[in-house]
A and B are shown apart, each in its own frame.
Chain A
């Protein structure tokens, strides 16, 4: 199984430990992983701000870097969703559509493709799971509370396999954290208020760690936690799954 590791730009630059954990989890579970070294960004920051027109070079780079693999795996629901929904190229239709089929967020890859039923991971902490919206509602990693439909959660299933991990309940299990890309600065007041409310929900149930499939949500929540001088930390789900594995 030839897997390409797709590392979101901000993870590459600010959270390398998340990409390392993702790489190690995939390798420990038997995948042959390589990291196409000239990758940059999926293009989402520009596109969500209204400038999808400017993302052609990003698309070209992405297609060149990620063609020819069996799977493309990324520790981000948001970036994967962007590729699935918006990657386009007038020159490379076939490769583009292949990439869209082969790109997976880490937990859905582990659940649906690798078929993980058991993990040796160990993490002796109380953890709150933040359901990042693009992964949840976009990629359908978990059931959303708006729909009247059976409950499921791929990230939660994996976290339940981790020894010692105590998953806390939340009052609002799938409310947005308020990051939203440029929204986090152009709508600063609402963005921060949403983040503070999410943090408060996790803290009231004693979370030692807040985890998620997307580091962008966690970067925002971490900024708030650290400003509040809270001892609670954020940790990407890949880091938990890699702990003791």
Chain B
């Protein structure tokens, strides 16, 4: 036991606890990060409380999504049929690699070398940008926050607010370096204007636009893309080719259901009544090519799992991140997955249990996420269930396993439990340094409890037992 890490679970340099440790080295920054996201949670509370029917809306949204998941096959085929009738080419991708290849093939045919892309967590999940780069194609992310992290060479740290971990002064510096804005200028309005000019050049010159999809309507074959910046619209309207990438769970049955989801989405995400743009794309304009890539990438497998299925209800609002006390104090990058926070922690292990075995443990199971979720995903219960599955598959570190087994053994035998308690209290009292030392993570920043003379059981036995 020569280092502190040996007493904790097999920490790798990239697991959540280690990355969170690093994030916490700068406490004022943690405070700033926490307060920024809490402010958004409060905005959400205010916006939600203005709708008397909020809880009813959540229930209806959850029901609609449950219906979708129970009939996904039918809705997907209806969606495909309706989209094709409007001249859209529909592709099916079983995994991230196939998705990337399909997108590349479409781009390759056009000979285009630079494309614009509006926000799409699915393409983050599939690492599309990196793949296209290897094929000699540059992707310009046009969402301002995404462009900022792209210029910085980082992944987004939040699904709705990709650069929420960046301060405006740092963005000023970044822009000064990449866009040539004057050094020391961190005025948000000025920087936004500079980004606008920079992005406009790409919008004007790019003939191919990739977008994500918030909702795919089975009834009409249309897709709906929600943005605050209008960057999806501008990209698509100026391009000859539009590729929309969509996870198969994004289906909703009827157009009228948008009346439920659009009301929930922006309020949950940022506390806005609705996103500035909710754009419907139903067919290519004359002379334009439109493709929709429907991506599975582990979703069907999840659909077959009763315990984890309803994570597919997620509409990617990010409310669970804003409310999560752990996310706010560890930052999105500590989750080392495209989707951070509580929802990421239940999605990621489904794709790679070993790689993401740490994430379901990055939670106190406080339950705030499940109750803020606009589609009522039982996030914290799924975190608990993932922990069980990870332990059963021996993906939980040796220290935790030994600790659990030792505790279970002691607590399974009353006499042993009584003895261990007495011994523990005695040690804490007479040789406290055995426990209160630098190898004990509890003691690093907290005092140990003061051991009492006797247990309650002993007190009861002496004082009440023969009553």
Contacts and interface: CB of A to CB of B under 8 A. Distances in A.
Contacts of A220: 446
A224 B412 CA distance: 31
A11 to B, nearest CB: 7
Interface in A29-85: 35, 37-41, 43, 45-55, 57-58, 61
Interface of B: 8-9, 16-17, 20-21, 23-24, 27, 30, 34, 38, 45, 48-49, 51-52, 54-55, 323, 325-326, 329-330, 361-368, 370-372, 384, 387-388, 390-392, 396, 400-401, 403-405, 407-408, 411-414, 417, 421, 424-425, 440-442, 444-449, 451-452, 454-457, 459-461, 464-465
A57 B8 CA distance: 26
Interface string A183-214: 11111111111111100000000000000000
A188 B408 contact: no
Given A172-B38, A187-B361, A190-B326, A50 B414 contact: no
A16 interface: yes
Nearest to B380: A137
B56 to A, nearest CB: 10
A44 B49 CA distance: 35
Given A9-B417, A176-B368, A180-B363, A53 B391 contact: yes
Contacts of A147: 55, 371
Contacts of B392: 53
Contacts of A12: 421, 455-457
Contacts of B425: 13-14
Nearest to A217: B364
A147 B44 CA distance: 11
A104 interface: no
B448 A223 contact: yes
A159 B391 CA distance: 41
A21 to B, nearest CB: 10
23 contacts: A13-B425, A45-B404, A45-B411, A47-B388, A49-B387, A49-B396, A49-B403, A50-B391, A51-B401, A51-B405, A51-B408, A53-B391, A54-B405, A146-B371, A148-B52, A178-B364, A180-B363, A188-B8, A188-B21, A189-B21, A195-B446, A196-B445, A226-B446
Among A7, A49, A178, A182, chain B packs the most CB atoms within 10 A around the CB of A49
A133 B52 CA distance: 25
A134 to B, nearest CB: 8
Tier of interface size on chain A: 35 or more
A219 B449 contact: yes
Please list the 5 inter-chain residue pairs (A to B) with the smallest Cβ-Cβ separation, ordered nearest first. Answer: A223-B446, A180-B364, A50-B391, A57-B412, A50-B387
B21 A50 contact: no
Among A13, A138, A184, chain B packs the most CB atoms within 10 A around the CB of A13
Contacts of B384: 47-48
A17 B367 CA distance: 29
Given A11-B456, A53-B392, A184-B442, A148 B362 contact: no
Contacts of A243: none
B223 to A, nearest CB: 30
A190 B27 CA distance: 11
B408 A55 contact: yes
Given A13-B425, A133-B368, A190-B330, 19 more contacts: A9-B411, A13-B421, A35-B456, A40-B414, A47-B384, A50-B388, A53-B392, A54-B404, A61-B414, A133-B366, A137-B370, A175-B368, A178-B325, A186-B9, A187-B17, A187-B326, A189-B17, A190-B17, A190-B362
Contacts of A52: 388
A178 B364 CA distance: 6
A188 B55 contact: no
A170 interface: no
A46 B400 CA distance: 9
A156 B403 CA distance: 36
B447 A19 contact: no
A195 B392 CA distance: 31
Nearest to A13: B421
Contacts of A54: 404-405, 408
B34 A46 contact: no
B247 to A, nearest CB: 26
B325 A194 contact: yes
A15 B38 CA distance: 34
B466 to A, nearest CB: 12
B171 to A, nearest CB: 25
A22 to B, nearest CB: 9
